[in-house]
Structure 1
Amino acid sequence: MPKCELHLHLEGTLEPELKLALAQRNGVDIGQSSVEEVRATYVFDSLASFLGVYYPAMDVLVTEEDFHDLALAYLRKAASQNVRHAEMFFDPQVHVGRGVAFETVVRGYHRAVVEAHAELGISSALILCFVRDLPVASAEETLRAALPFRDLIVGVGLDSDERGNPPAKFAAVFAAAREAGFRVTMHCDIDQEDTVEHLRQALEDLGTERLDHGTNVVEDPRLLALVRERGIGLTCCPVSNSFVTDDSKAPVIAELLRSGVKVTVNSDDPAYFGGYVNENARALAEAADLTPDELVQLQRNAFEIAWIGDAQREELLAELDAYAALSVPPTA
């Protein structure tokens, strides 16, 4: 099935094998000397414990070539699962804070975007995420750094630890980003502190175009009606949900899908959660008893809310329609 991935953190695609190779290439002591030892550190049971593993792992990313290799490895994996378009988050503040230049990060990732399109035919785009548990001034500085690379970055997002870091904290930054021409999305992680209020702020005060995760919207009928009315997409990640909480939210995702909300299925941080987009689609299908038509609808939703031109959207939807028309029942 042709697929579209809209919720993917490039730093979250750092597989143990590549992490070890980059550590050795750059002389970074990560405290592990084998792939098995690296993999054993990828253990967590909450969003906070996940971030405690996730951010230190980034120390192995130093040069433009490192960022290129990371993104290209993901895009090759995605293409092998017939992902036709991907929109990928990245966290420049974390790298700049380690002394890596913004330009090094974005040019490395962009080289992979160009190379993967030429080599594999997969299209992709970069979304700069503001790290919400860093000061607003850091986000403002990051936005200024991004402006010279406006043609390489399609949009901005908001990620990391939500506790005490509501969307409203970044209202001015997002207003400036929108004025500069960036598209806007925001994480509203599942079952977090003040989740529903964060959803309200993202939707009503900051005017987000998409919600990353966002399934707690079912708890507020008014916000749910707003999501449906505006055609706002939810970029859901069932496998990662089951790691950072005790619930994949599969029944809720299916309920939203069946009620006409533009939910999509994505892999989030697949190196850490053990599942790329195919595995997430299968997990959701099995847990929520999705029909073949519903699996197709998930991808239709994703292509419809992707930040691509109309001509490309029509082409990708035509591919999906051609697949759906086959007599063989669709599979992930």
Structure 2
Amino acid sequence: MSVSSLCEKMAMETEVSNQTVVDSFILEGLMYTAEHPSLFFLLFLLLYSITMTGNLLILLTVGSDPRLRSPMYHFLGHLSFLDACLSTVTVPKVMAGLLTLHGKMISFGGCAVQLYCFHFLASTECFLYTVMAYDRYLAICQPLHYPVVMNRRMCAGLAGVTWAIGAVHSAIHTSLTFCLLYCGPRHIAYFFCDIPPVLKLACADTTVNELVMLVNIGTVAAGCLILIIISYIFIVAAVLRIRTTEGQQRAFSTCTSHLTVVLLYYVPPVCIYLQPRSSGAGAGAPAVFYTIVTPMLNPFIYTLRNKEVKRALRRLLSRGSRESPAGSPPL
């Protein structure tokens, strides 16, 4: 059954008489933030500033340094862009809600756009982690074939496919969520528009939506995670066959960063989407981790454990200081 026909069936099953359609929602935000809004505003502002600065630096470094032209850094650039966008979808609205009551309000259309953008970026990042694992598998397990297989065209194609699948995946969930009737409560017990808390406000049976969410998101997340695990089983086996300790350490250093961010990214959503009816203000803690904290940590994880990125970043910063205006006062 197509998404459109499913929406039509849901609309026919919903009684619309004597009911007012909701045109806006109120985001209740995170627990405990209302007690000290100014303090939490400054905290989120700091986290957001670090996130944007770190990811933009990674993007500038990868894009400007000719030594970072390998597929691994090509995908790292995509990851940094996704992290910056993912944080932008949620954090500014959280900060606005801490400043004024009006900042907590979000229109029906704005809620749909936020939900779509969030799941588009999050699912694309999920697929990208899988592609990055495949890239590491080819580089370590099939080094002779790697330059031929993972050429520029293949890199661009894999990146494009991840974005395209993410867009379709998000469109399905957004359509199913907002084709329902919302006629009663307006308070979303969450800090952004996500599927579980929004579905709780629907004036209709959401069993089908929850089933689709569990099957779809569960299949995508589990499938990607299984592929990543399989890739790293082969990678570990190949690394252990390397005779020199230096070679093993170098191979592991390029993989541990990826494994770290995968764990940080996958564990919190499992707590949320496998229990859709348990969403609420208290359920926001896991979401904060992978929507705000992880995008901030990723640049540090990849930079601190990657000597090439650190050297390229130093070259970028030193070049920027040399190109500063002549009239600038000496430091």
TM-score, normalised relative to structure 2: 0.24
Structure whose residues are more often helix by fraction: 2
Q: Who wins on radius of gyration, i.e. which is larger?
A: 2
Higher relative contact order by CA 8 Å / sep ≥ 6: 1 or 2? 2
Structure whose residues are more often strand by fraction: 1
TM-score, normalised relative to structure 1: 0.24
